[in-house]
Amino acid sequence: EVRLVESGGGLVKPEGSLRLSCAASGFIFSSYNMNWVRQAPGKGLEWVSSISSSSTYIYYADSVKGRFTISRDNAKNSLFLQMNSLRAEDTAIYYCARDLARQLWFDPWGQGTLVTVSS
Amino acid sequence: AIRMTQSPSSFSASTGDRVTLTCRASQGISSYLAWYQQKPGKAPEVLIYGASTLQSGVPSRFSGSGSGTDFNFTISCLQSEDFATYYCQQYYSYPRTFGQGTKVEIK
């Protein structure tokens, strides 16, 4: 069974940092691109960042560029999102999701981890 | 960035109704469009990709059409489990962008 499990969310003060993880299982992790998508409370979906299977290509939304860093460890089947200089508007559920070259839609998604930025 | 605009934002319907949602891209995206369903407290799930291809295991009452800038998503006979929020998403280019969602509520 393909499974993605996020962790690392929590309450953090403005300007603080947090590192999210996504543990993958049930598929060949190193063959897939990976993504982070977030959803603010009661709001829609916002793509955050993508990383290619071998980390060659990395993309960020303008809203997080320069503050967030996506990375992966294919040996440990894990995806990460280092979030620095956090703002109140970064408060959201963060989902990881996979995609595949030539099959670029997101499937599946993890259950999400909640990040709350508040003083 | 390509802007995705869904309409309506929400509407009420009854079980058994045929419903059609629309999604418009601010520029052509060929057929690089997916539709996701999200239920409260759950992660989104893909229903349609390539604008019209049904994801494996998804009931045939769901369908999608369109290419370029205008897309439709149809539920032929609404079931109780279909009350949810639906999002379109383009994967033609980065940044990936989603529509704002259409919430289908019970009338």
Q: How far is B2 from chain A (nearest CA, A)?
A: 12
* Chain A neighbors of B44, CB-CB under 8 A: 45, 95, 106, 109
Q: What is the pLDDT of residue B20?
A: 97
Identify the three-state secondary structure at position B80. Answer: helix
The pairing of beta strand B102-106 with beta strand B85-90:
antiparallel
pLDDT at A100: 84
Distance from CA of B33 to the nearest CA of A (A): 8
Q: Exposed (0-12), middle (13-18) or buried (19+): which is B41, by Cβ within 10 Å?
A: exposed
Strands (E), chain B: 4-7, 10-13, 19-25, 33-38, 45-49, 53-54, 62-67, 70-75, 85-90, 97-98, 102-106
Per-residue b or e along A48-70, where b marks 16 or more CB atoms closer than 10 Å to that residue's CB: bbbbebeeeeebbbeebeeebbb
Q: What is the pLDDT of residue B68?
A: 98
B5-18 residue pLDDT tens = 999 999 899 999 99
Calculate the average pLDDT of chain A. Answer: 97
Computed over every residue of chain B, the mean pLDDT equals 97
pLDDT at site B107: 87
User: For chain B, first and last CA: distance in Å?
Assistant: 36
Please give the pLDDT value at position A101.
Answer: 76
Instruction: Provide, as residue numbers in chain A, all residues whose Cβ is less than 8 Å from the Cβ of B95.
Output: 47, 59, 61-62
Low-confidence ranges of chain A (pLDDT < 50): none
Looking at residue A102, its pLDDT comes to 79
pLDDT band at B26 (very low <50, low <70, confident <90, very high): very high
Q: What is the pLDDT of residues B61-105, one digit of tens each?
A: 999 999 999 999 999 999 999 999 999 999 999 999 999 999 999
Please report the pLDDT score of residue A103 as a whole number. 86
